Amino acid sequence: MIKYSIQSMCKMNYKLKIAMAGFFMLSIALRAQQQTIQSELKKETNITVNMDYKYILELPENIADDEQLPLLVFLHGSGERGDSIDLVKVHGPWAFLETHPEYRFIILAPQCKTDEYWDVRSLGFLIDDIVANYPVDTTRIYLTGLSMGGYGTWDLAMFDPDRFAAIAPVCGTTFQHKLMAHKVKDLPIWIFHGAMDETVPFHNSARMAQKLKELNADVRFTVYPFTTHNAWDEAYADEELYKWFLNCKKQ
Q: Residue-wise pLDDT tens for the chain (251 aa)?
A: 444 444 443 333 332 232 322 344 433 333 333 343 333 333 444 444 555 789 999 999 989 999 999 999 999 999 999 989 999 999 999 999 999 999 999 999 999 999 899 999 999 999 999 999 999 999 999 999 999 999 999 999 999 999 999 999 999 988 776 778 999 999 999 999 999 999 999 999 999 999 999 999 999 999 999 999 999 999 999 999 999 999 999 98
Report domain extents, the chain.
54-247
Do 174 and 158 contact (CB within 8 A), yes or no?
yes
Q: Which amino acid is at 73?
A: V
Give the pLDDT score at 117. Answer: 93
Give the pLDDT score at 175. Answer: 75
Shortest CA distance to 168 belongs to which of 103, 56, 74, 91? 74
Q: Residues 4, 5, 11, 15: is their CA dihedral positive or negative? A: positive
Q: Which amino acid is at 202?
A: F
Give the pLDDT score at 176. Answer: 75
Cα 245 to Cα 165: distance, rounded to the nearest angstrom = 8
Domain 54-247 has CATH 3.40.80.10: no
Do 4 and 58 contact (CB within 8 A), yes or no?
yes
Give the pLDDT score at 50. Answer: 52
Give the pLDDT score at 31. Answer: 37
List, as one string, the DSSP characters of 158-211: HH-GGG-SEEEEES---S-HHHHGGGGTTS-EEEEEETT-TTTTHHHHHHHHHH
List, as one string, the DSSP characters of the chain: -EEEEE-------SSS-EEETTEEEEEEEEEEEEE-TTT--EEEEEEEEEEEEEEEEEEESS--TT--EEEEEEE--GGG-SS-GGGGGSSSSHHHHHH-TTS--EEEEEEPPTT----HHHHHHHHHHHHHHS-EEEEEEEEEEETHHHHHHHHHHHH-GGG-SEEEEES---S-HHHHGGGGTTS-EEEEEETT-TTTTHHHHHHHHHHHHHTT--EEEEEETT--S--HHHHHT-HHHHHHHHH----
For residue 141, what are the β-bridge partners? 71
For residue 223, what are the β-bridge partners? 193
Give the pLDDT score at 51. Answer: 57
What residues contact 156, with CB distance under 8 A and at least 6 apart?
75, 118, 120, 123, 124, 143
Give the pLDDT score at 178. Answer: 73
- How far, CA to CA in Å, does 168 sit from each of 67, 141, 242? 25, 12, 10
